[in-house]
Structure 1
Amino acid sequence: MAPGKFYPKARRQRPSIHDPAVRPRRLALLKAATINLLVLQFLFLGLFCYIFGSLFQQGEHTHNINILFVDYDGGAIGNAVRTAYEQLESTSFPALMERPATSYPSTNTIDEAVCNIKYWGALYIAPNASDHLTAALGGGSAAADYDKSNVMTMVWNEARYPTTVDSAISVTLKSLTEAARVALAKADGQKMLQALNTSDSAAVAAFSDPWVLSSVNLQETSQGSRLIYNTLVIILILIQEFFYLGYVNGLYQQFQLYVSIHPHRIAIVRQVISGVYTFIGSLCTTGAIWAFRHGWHVNGYQFVITWMSLWLFAHLNFLVLDVFTIWLPPPIVPMALISWIVTNVTSILLPFELSPAFYRVGFALPAHSIFNILIDIWSGGCNPQLYYALPVLFVYEIVGLTLSTIGVYRRSHYAVLKHEADEKAIQDRIEPAVSERQDQLPTEITADGPRESETSETDPEAGGAMQRRTTVATQADQEEIMEIIRREMSRPRVEKATTSRENNGPCFDLPFSD
């Protein structure tokens, strides 16, 4: 069935594409389409290169991940770890930073060093671990009491970029301890065999499997939703603010508030509306994170602080996007939006240690600040970067509030100018039509006037009838003039709505309204 049957006007005869009148428009269309095609292609090519560049040769930057190593034992096991690290050391392996035991007199100080992000993780060997292993090889009570899990321990914080530290710290340290086991067997295997009591099963077990790497995870973060905390969660918050901004602009456009209400009242109400919306939106986001936190040990206090942090982040992004729509040309706004999203998400995809140094410009972006604040909240203060993260967010908030408020006055100014221009355009349309019609009325009355006067003197009844006909004609003319006014006013209103919408940034029709 032909679509033209349902849309008959679409089949109306139109000029040929080769018509001389169409040719200039055709060339202009091709030129505009080509320019915009190139601009968008270069924009997205640049964004792809930017985000891929942050991930480029990620493994080759793993050596920037520093791991603290403390040997409280000072024996053969520590030597085996050093030998194993010499074999594994490369750009794709974390840097093992050995420090003397005197610098960290207890294991609690190691936990604090990792918690305070002086190191990404730590590995330490328990005191007298080598002596305990040697004694266990001889069998007896020493072998029975030997605790293989109290030999090597790693300390890390899984809440700090969980998908990254799983592979960069947990996996690599396990491979290091396995390599150390082989190195110990090569270096002291003969001596250990001589001391081994083969008749004691516990001694044989200690020889074949001398240690199991223990783990002190400051904040276990193994739930599946952790994969999108630094990607889709941030993206959806940004997109959520963009869409609501469009609805707010649509609200102001629909009710023509910029030409009917004082700007300072508009600014106050606009900020209140955005604050309430982001307040509720951040609550929903935090609630969704908590609803799918299975196995994640966080409490109600952390819930509230997360909510407040996301509220600040959401509101400042609403303001930033509003500033885009106020001060940037309308065609640039979509490109600015997608660039803002990509650069912010890129700043938190990976730790800066695993990206080229150029990407440290992400320190100035709010997404990087909010993610570090969230890590600090979720891990109980084990990511102390609030000293820079909070100021960055508040700078965006204050600057955004200032520029957004000034923007209300700007929009009101241009809205009034546009309203006056539209009224003048309407007047220019109506006056010629009305004047033309009014010019015709005196001629008709003058032509009948003498006849009406003469008739009224000789025949009063005929004069009265003529007066009634003149009155009827005048009413008909008035109705015709009103129809002209209605017809002429209908066109500028459509043009005004379209032009005003283009000047107000993203503007969506309200899905539900009275």
Structure 2
Amino acid sequence: MASAKHTPNRSPRFWRGRIQSTVVPSVMSGIMLMLLILANMCYLYGTTFRQETRVHALKVLLVDFDQGELGTAVVRASQGLQSHHFPTVELGSMSQYSDPTAIKQAVCKAEYWAALYVNKDASKTLASAVNGSSREYDPASAVTYTYNQARYPVIADSYIINGIVSVIAASRATYYESSSANATFSTLDTTDQDSVVAYLNPIGSSADLIQPTGQVSRVFHNTVNLVIPPLAQFFFLLALNGIAMGSGFHAQARVRDVWLFRFCLSKIYTCLSGITMAGYIWAFKETWGVTGSDFAKSWMLFWFLMDTQYQVMESIVGSFLPIAFTPFFVFTWIITNVASTVFPLEIMPGWYRVGYALPSHEAYSLMVQIWSGCADQTRVALPVMFSWWIIGHVTAVFSVRKRCSDARSMAANADAASEMTVSNAVLDVDISEDGEMTTQSNSPPSK
């Protein structure tokens, strides 16, 4: 006889029994994930909160080598622009910064975000052009500015360069207000086109950048690029745990062997991950002036960062942290690390200084040093990263031991359940056979 077709149970009684076990947990999971996303994105967006009021934390050096009308105009213009919404321009002395090389070195050491200086004899050159004794005048030769374009290029190309442009524009107006400019105008030969052009455009600027970084992909260097290390290690760890649990490796092998296998495999994977990360950056470097030596150093740094992130994941995910709560940790870890690199900490709210303790922030500071040869922060970056790396290696040992212990417990429970199932099946068969024998003995003999 054919068995009756099974139909899903849709009775109200069936669903009432599933409210507490299925519906409520599903709804709560959705709510918790939405709150997780809300909290993390608020944290990330908080890095930009009223950022324009902290632009004054970006310091710019100004040195007047001219000591004439143009130099005075630039100094007065920069002083008139000072506010919380404008980079702080500090006037440097010629005794401390005797030449442009010293100024550029100060920017290279990250003492200042940028510097501009009025070139020597700029006022005399302008005067010669205005009175007609010199036929050629280049206003861009009056002021030179410099900044490290590899260091937070979005900030450098926005707040910094816009501030410099504003100073130059204000300097023209300040120059025309001077008595020297008024005297020059009264004697200006309006029939001399070169003199008129020189007077109408007295001050310009030229750039002397530290490591020009003009490729558009530079915006990813301190943003999306720093998402990859923790994300790549998390996915690899999920695959590794799944394979090991499915094959019974964690339950059957010794803890030492499991740790050694995972240790060696992680070093190989993070090494390849590091060269992959360096590879796609170099593939889109375009005209960026980095060298093969910079590539090798970047590879080593990315390997170090990848391995640090792996140790963090290895120490927590799938062992001390249940799988159900893994998204809460991983997503928060990624967002907090990226938030520490998207903008300079100087222009973030004070709380975000916690980013100095995160590996991604220190890794980015080392990237800038490798790519530009400037902004040396190794005294902070290396201790922070090595702390995460060493502690991660230590805690990973305990994590592997717990993972193996949990796997053995699960295997033992599975074996016990399997034995119970077999015992019940055998018992059912015995009862069935006894029932058949009893039935046969009680049946009347056939005629």
The normalised TM-score by structure 2 is: 0.91
Q: Distance in 2 between matches of 1:440 and 1:193?
A: 120
Offset, 1:444: 9.8
Equivalent residue in structure 1 for 2:50, among 54, 57, 73: 57
Aligned match of 1:378: 371
Aligned match of 1:255: 247
Aligned match of 1:239: 231
Q: Distance in 1 between matches of 2:238 and 2:157?
A: 40
Greater CA drift, 40-49 or 82-91: 82-91
Aligned match of 1:348: 341
Offset, 1:220: 0.5
Structure 1 residue 387 and structure 2 residue 382: aligned?
Answer: no
Identify unmatched segments of 5+ residues in structure 1. 1-8, 449-514
Q: Distance in 2 between matches of 1:76 and 1:246?
A: 67
Equivalent residue in structure 1 for 2:31, among 16, 35, 38: 38
Q: Which amino acid aligns with 1:127?
A: K
What root-mean-square deviation, in Å, do the aligned CA atoms of Structure 1 and Structure 2 show? 2.4
Equivalent residue in structure 1 for 2:259, among 255, 267, 271: 267
Offset, 1:435: 4.8
Offset, 1:256: 0.7
Q: Taking structure 1 as reference, are residues 443 and 57 closer, same or farther at Cα in structure 2, changes over 3 Å only?
A: closer
Q: Which amino acid aligns with 1:233?
A: N
The normalised TM-score by structure 1 is: 0.79
CA-to-partner distance for each residue in 1:332-391, whole Å, 9 max, x for gaps? 1111111011111111111112211111100111110111111111102x1100111112
SS of alignment partner, residue 265 of structure 2 = helix
SS of alignment partner, residue 90 of structure 2 = strand
Offset, 1:147: 4.5
Identify unmatched segments of 5+ residues in structure 2. 441-447
Offset, 1:146: 4.3
Q: Distance in 2 between matches of 1:439 and 1:39?
A: 50
Offset, 1:137: 1.9
Equivalent residue in structure 1 for 2:418, among 413, 416, 426: 426
Q: Distance in 2 between matches of 1:48 and 1:442?
A: 68
Q: Distance in 2 between matches of 1:390 and 1:185?
A: 52
Structure 1 residue 290 and structure 2 residue 282: aligned?
Answer: yes
SS of alignment partner, residue 349 of structure 1 = coil
CA-to-partner distance for each residue in 1:384-440, whole Å, 9 max, x for gaps? 001111121111111111111221111112222222222222222222433564578
Offset, 1:441: 7.6
Aligned match of 1:154: 145
Q: Distance in 2 between matches of 1:22 and 1:200?
A: 95
SS of alignment partner, residue 70 of structure 1 = strand
Q: Distance in 1 between matches of 2:431 and 2:17?
A: 41
Equivalent residue in structure 2 for 1:220, among 212, 216, 224: 212
Offset, 1:24: 3.5
Give the number of equivalent residue pairs. Answer: 434
Q: Distance in 2 between matches of 1:324 and 1:239?
A: 14
Aligned match of 1:502: none
Choose 1 or 2 for highest CA Rg.
1
Q: Which amino acid aligns with 2:385?
A: L
SS of alignment partner, residue 230 of structure 1 = coil
Structure 1 residue 278 and structure 2 residue 270: aligned?
Answer: yes
Q: Distance in 1 between matches of 2:289 and 2:435?
A: 92
Offset, 1:87: 3.5
Q: Taking structure 1 as reference, are residues 174 and 310 closer, same or farther at Cα in structure 2, changes over 3 Å only?
A: same
Offset, 1:27: 4.2
Greater helix content: 1
Offset, 1:230: 1.3
Q: Distance in 1 between matches of 2:127 and 2:186?
A: 11
Offset, 1:69: 0.8
